[in-house]
Structure 1
Amino acid sequence: MTDGGWAVVTPHALVLVIEDGGAWQVRDRRGWHEVDHADWAPEPPSIHVRWIEGDESALGLVSDERAFPTALRERVESSIVLMQERDLPGGAKVRVAIRRAEDDSLLSQVSVVGRLRGTASEQAAIDALERDARAAAGLEP
């Protein structure tokens, strides 16, 4: 990476390492199920990652080699078991993803694009979609 560290794609996580006093130290480690979205930009080469909890990371790359972004995409996609989306009456879109965590357990993640109105009917629709997705994956509601 441009900061002198390395971004490493492992089977279970994205690991950022940096040299510190002659030894490599893990600066950050995040499971693939924690990635909400990632974009690759060729000029200058970088990966922009939005994490499921809402924070973001920008990884400056020293090469425009596409192998790293391709491997990252494959790992993120492999964590998705099932995804369902629904448009809500107020214009927002809700997405429920069933994802495989590092320990092979399944979990559900709810994300929203747009602005929620905060109504009881909207919350009921979100809850119903999550229940349906969890049931489709064999998870308890």
Structure 2
Amino acid sequence: MPIFTRRSRPTVPTTLLAGVDEEVLGAVPLAEDDSSWAVATAGRLIILSQAAPATAHPWTGVERASWEAETRTFTVTWTDEAADPLILRVVAGVRRHGEFVSWDVAPFARALRQRVEAAIVHAVTATLPSGLPASASVRRAEDSSLYIVTRPASGQGEADEAALRALRRRAADGVGLPTD
């Protein structure tokens, strides 16, 4: 008889993962009662909840994500500037079988960073004539095709618009896409 027993690392409840058909690269609990989780797979960020249908966000739509340790919050911003950021408030752990099981956010944070970076093939930056910072990123869509996203999507006048078109051309030229 062994002197100690080794507990396996806790995982996302299988009842929540029933509709997820991809390998989970990282996960974080969003509720202490184990009823809500955010999971990162190769293709998408998925929010799972016992109270609502799962929502899946392809990595191609994610502009960036950040972690605020003090508030235990991930903030996900989208390539669509009009969309509100997704705020994921991560709990320190979950209650299972009368015990509190702590949770490490590092695997999820790593997966989040890797998947966002994998969607970006090439990026260029500039300052617009109006003084606004701007970027153009070439991204890989789920079907492997390439497309360009600029931030901001439009400028503050004709000079900014011309600068954004030039920035788009630079990004396209950097990966061999047509520049017209």
Superposition TM-score, scaled by structure 2 size: 0.68
Q: Over residues 91-140 of structure 1, what are the superposed CA-to-partner deviations in whole Å (9 max), with x where a residue is unaligned?
A: 11110000111221111000039x9431x222111101102211222223
Which residue is equivalent to 1:59? 88
Opposite residue 174 of structure 2, the aligned amino acid is A
**1:2 positional shift:** 2.6
Alignment pair present for 1:103 and 2:143: yes
Alignment pair present for 1:88 and 2:128: yes
**1:46 positional shift:** 1.8
Relative to structure 1, the CA distance from residue 65 to residue 122 in structure 2 (aligned partners, 3 Å threshold; closer, same or farther) is closer
Q: Over residues 4-23 of structure 1, what are the superposed CA-to-partner deviations in whole Å (9 max), with x where a residue is unaligned?
A: 31111111111111124xxx
Report the structure, 1 or 2, having the larger strand content.
1
Please tell me whether the aligned partners of residues 85 and 96 of structure 1 are also in contact (alpha carbons under 8 angstroms). yes
Alignment pair present for 1:130 and 2:161: no
User: How many equivalent residue pairs?
Assistant: 135
**1:65 positional shift:** 2.5
| Structure 1: unaligned runs, 5 residues or longer | none
| Aligned counterpart in structure 2 of residue 2 of structure 1, from 7, 27, 30 | 30
Superposition TM-score, scaled by structure 1 size: 0.85
Runs of 4+ in 1 over 3 A off after TM superposition: none
Please tell me whether the aligned partners of residues 73 and 90 of structure 2 are also in contact (alpha carbons under 8 angstroms). yes
